[in-house]
Structures are given as C-alpha cells and as structure tokens.
Structure 1
Amino acid sequence: MAGPPVAVVNACTRDGRGGSPTAVVIDDATLTDDDRQATAGRTGTSHTAFIDPGTADTPTVRFFTSAGELTNCGHGIIAAQAVLLHRSGATEHHGRQRTGGRTFATTAIRRHDGVEVWFDQGVITLADHADSTGGGLIAALGLQRTDIAADVRVASPGTPRLLVPVRDHRTLLSMRPDFDRLAAECRRLGYLGCFSYALSPTARTATARMFAPAIGVDEDIANANSVGCLAAHLLDTSGNGDIEVHQGDTLGRPSSVFAAATHTGSGITARIGGVVARLTI
C-alpha cells in the first residue's frame, strides 16, 4: 500500500528558519489505525496529523507517531491549521477543531513569511508532588539534584508531563539522557515525557528541550503543549503567564512557541501560537 498523499510542513519556525517538520495527511475513511501508524512511520517526521475535514469550521484531527496514536500534539495542530488555511485560499480563519475528545478554538492568519496559528489549549492541571516521585527521572535525564533550579512539577493539559527547571542554559544544552531508562520511568509514572527548561533573567523567554522516548520521540524539535504547561506554571508561581520558548537548537532546527496563560473560573488555561513556514504544497 503506497499510502495517502503526505504534505510535510515546518511548524513553529523561528525568524523564518527551522521549525519542526510535521507531516499532514487529509484522512481517508478507508484507512485503519494500523495504516495511519504505518504512514506516520514512513514520513520521516516525528509526528503526523490526519485531518478529517468534516464540517468546514470543525475538522477532526488525529495524531500518530511511529509508536501509535497520541491524544494531542500542539505543533501538529499548528501544522494542520496552516494546511487547512492554505487549502481554503483564505487569508484568515477563525474556527474550531476536534481532537482527543474535545473541541477548541483555533485561529490561522496568512503572513508574508507563512501562517501564524493560535489555539486554545484548555485547562492545565498542576501538581506539586513531582519532586518526591521524579528522582529516577532526574537521573535518567543525566542530571544531578544540584542541576535543578527549582521544584520539578507535573503539568497536564490532558496528558501529564514533568516540568524540569535546570540551573542555566549551558546545563540544558549539555543534557544527554539515557533514553531507555527515561522511557521506562515515564511509563512507570504515567508521564508523556520531560520538558526541561532554563528561564532567561526576565522570565519572559526560555530555552527548552522535550524528551519523550516513551511515545517514540527521543527529543522533540518543538513541543507546543509543554510550552503552554510552562506558561501555566509561571502564572501560578510568579503571576506572569506570557512566555516565548526556543527549542530545537541542539537538533539543528531552531523553533519558537508562544504561550499566554490566564486564570479562569475553571482553572488556568493557555493559548498557544506558532508560525508555519510559507507553504508550497
């Protein structure tokens, strides 16, 4: 089986460069989930988005890696919405998307250098007990306790992951995780992965690396949902919920993700944004 046509776009670029190559497929009802997983394995990208157009304003999007289906993928949402705007021929679209059992708002705007996309992440839960359970994860990341700048924390927009603040940029870039051990620890504790980050002195920007071998992605070029989680954590602890996070430099693919977290009656929510390079598909 050759599989459906695949478009590969660069999501969450930084200054027009880099970004995470993300495969986008207009879904076919004849495909099985085994077919989708196989397609994801053939794309040469970490994640593949499968779009069922459905209604014009509320398509369903599913995400697969070579290891299986994910409940969500932030940079995949950004890639999918950019492709939908490109296919429509419009310059701007405000709509909704169904993913992982929920529906949320999206915005896509055509720019001279690509498509800017924002989406509502929803409520993010934060847990303070991570430091007592994450010791094995810290070692698996190749870190010592002295490398940790503050308490680690569990954050979940639906799937939990560990937020790991390291003491400086140099420590972050020098991390060499034991991926087999990290995958085992994440599965044992039920985490998607570990989002390690170093804040700038102003805490308005950060550099980060996302390690998720438990879902088949040793290191993610851009993990947008974790940026939203970091924004929620910063709002909760410092009152500032706006952040730009740089990722992908260690992989030669500089990326940027933006997030703004706010307090609501339901809890802390975040809005996440990124730019997809100009499409030629």
Structure 2
Amino acid sequence: MPEVAIVDACQRRRGGGSPTAVLDDAPLTGEERRRIPTELGTSHAVFLRATGVERARPSYTLRFFTAAGELPACGHGTVAALALLAHRAGDDAYHAVLRTTHGSFDGRATRNGDGLTASFDPGPVSLREVRGPELEAVAQGLGLTPEAVAGDACVASNGRPRLLLAVRSRAVLAGLTPDFPLLRAACDRYGLLGCYAYSPPDRHGRTAARMFAPSIGVPEDIANANSTACLAAHTVGSGMDRLVVDMGDHLGRPSTVTAAVHHDGLERRIQVGGRAAIVRTLVR
C-alpha cells in the first residue's frame, strides 16, 4: 500500500478544511478503496495515476471514492490532489492536466506560506428549472417550510445533477436539520447527487452553503467545490462573477471555496478552488 497523505482541502484562514486521503493508485479492489475513507476518518479518498505529459504539462488520472462507492468527480478531492502534486514537485507555481471519468481539465496550484492554493476548471455546467414535486420533496427532506425557501432553485450538473436551493438567510441555513432517510429517498427518486443549500450572496459575492449528499454516503460534506462551481454558473446571470462560499461550520471544520467566472467572448469558464495543506502522511 502506498503512502497516504491527509490533505485539509478548502481551508479558511489556515484552519479547518475537508480532510481528504490522497494516494498513488495501486491494484486495489473497489471494496478496498471504499474502506480507506472510513479507516482514515475522511469523507473521500483520491487515487492518483501518472499518465505522462499532455499539452506540455504532467498529466494524471484521478479516481474518487467514498464509503458508498466511486464518484465521477470530486471538487475538494481535486483541490487536495493538486496540493499534493505541487508539494511533490516543489514548484511555487504548478500546472497539470487532470483526467477523470467526466473528462480532462487543467489544474494549478501556487504556494502560499505553509499551504497551497489550488484551482481548476471543472468544465461546462448545465442548468435546468426544477419542478414543483421535485423541489417540494427535497425541501421536505431538509425540514424546510415554504417561508424559509428563497424561491431561487434549479438543478445543476457538471458531472452529476444536484439541486441548488436558496434559503432566506444564514440563520435558516445554520438551523437545517435534515431527515436523512427522507432526503435520500427524494434525491434517489429524482436522480440527484444531493442538495446544495445556500444563503443569498451579499454584494461582494460572499455566502454560506451546506451540501447534503446521503445518496453517496456523505450526509453532509464539509466543502463542495463542484457544487460551488454550479452555483457560480447559476448566479452569473445576475452579474456576479466571483463567489466566496463558507462551508463546514456546522461540522466544526470551517472551510471556504472560491469560484470565479472568466469571460472569453461568448464563452464562460469557471475556476473553482481553495487553500489546502498537507497535515500528515501515513503508511498503512
């Protein structure tokens, strides 16, 4: 078994973040891969496999696992992987091409004191309107009353669909007490990864969010970068090109994910990421 690095991804003020296991790929069974997050106390494990050079940059294939199985993508896992690769390379500015089952994309990391700031382009985001029964079922699973919903909801996907649901305030967000069996049943019924609930961003693009994904074995995610990228795609129509999203406070792991929308003519690209630090290395 290769060494396992535990990386706190998407930290806030050099603390908190989502503990993520990152290791080089090995001939492991799916069951063995699923056991690693549980054994190490992380929500996800990321497996790296070097694949040579692509577009004049080192290239890697990433695979992501939770205790429930493999995922096609994981945003904070990608941030953690980039931080470890940059640390190994010893570069102050690191670039790589990353490939997942969802596609290939560019990633970068820059050294920032005793940590690294990593970001990547998760690719295009598709958005669709959410229908009444779908919204009602998920809101019921979250324990939300109609008055607590801000009315701005959609289903977004950059790999797997998830419901983006605005609530009235940070106080409403902090007070959510989901019925996880009910929420999972609603997400499974409508083919959703989960629900990303958020408070309306202020004029500077700062907001808070909580990501619930019981269908993939993660009742609540400490930090969720791919859903934050989806939110950036959803809010860009209101003229907001940058988001700073606080997550993880309810779990005692304060985290922050950033997303920026870059305009290139009619094309829009989203860069999402956060600060990461390698906190320990284990030999299993």
Query: TM-score by structure 1 length?
Result: 0.93
Indicate if the aligned counterparts of 2:241 and 2:260 stay in contact, CA closer than 8 A. Answer: yes
Provide the C-alpha distance between the structure 2 equivalents of 1:186 and 1:197, rounded to a whole number of angstroms. 17
Match for residue 242 of structure 2? 242
Q: How many residues align?
A: 277
Offset from partner CA, 1:104-123 (integer Å, 9 cap, x none): 00111111030110100110
User: What is the identity, as a one-letter code, of the residue corresponding to 2:211?
Assistant: M
In the TM superposition, residue 200 of structure 1 has moved relative to its aligned partner by 3.9
Indicate if the aligned counterparts of 2:141 and 2:178 stay in contact, CA closer than 8 A. Answer: yes
Match for residue 20 of structure 1? 18
Aligned pairs for 1:1-281 (under 5 A) are: 3-28=1-26, 30-55=27-52, 57-202=58-203, 204-236=205-237, 238-262=238-262, 268-277=268-277, 281=281
SS at match of 1:15: coil
| Percent of residue pairs identical | 44
Structure 1 gaps, min length 5:
none
Provide the C-alpha distance between the structure 2 equivalents of 1:118 and 1:130, rounded to a whole number of angstroms. 33
Q: Which moved more, 1:129-138 or 1:9-18?
A: 129-138
Provide the C-alpha distance between the structure 1 equivalents of 2:46 and 2:33, rounded to a whole number of angstroms. 9
Provide the C-alpha distance between the structure 1 equivalents of 2:99 and 2:175, rounded to a whole number of angstroms. 38
Query: TM-score by structure 2 length?
Result: 0.92
Indicate if the aligned counterparts of 2:73 and 2:102 stay in contact, CA closer than 8 A. Answer: no
Indicate if the aligned counterparts of 2:6 and 2:280 stay in contact, CA closer than 8 A. Answer: no
Indicate if the aligned counterparts of 2:207 and 2:243 stay in contact, CA closer than 8 A. Answer: yes
Offset from partner CA, 1:148-203 (integer Å, 9 cap, x none): 11231101111100001000111000000000111111111011100000024315
Provide the C-alpha distance between the structure 2 equivalents of 1:133 and 1:210, rounded to a whole number of angstroms. 17
Seen in structure 2, the aligned counterparts of structure 1 residues 168 and 100 have a Cα distance that, compared at 3 Å, is same
Offset from partner CA, 1:210-237 (integer Å, 9 cap, x none): 000000000000001111111110002x
Provide the C-alpha distance between the structure 2 equivalents of 1:8 and 1:280, rounded to a whole number of angstroms. 5
Provide the C-alpha distance between the structure 2 equivalents of 1:16 and 1:27, rounded to a whole number of angstroms. 28
Provide the C-alpha distance between the structure 2 equivalents of 1:152 and 1:131, rounded to a whole number of angstroms. 10
SS at match of 1:79: helix
Provide the C-alpha distance between the structure 2 equivalents of 1:12 and 1:253, rounded to a whole number of angstroms. 10
Indicate if the aligned counterparts of 1:123 and 1:267 stay in contact, CA closer than 8 A. Answer: no
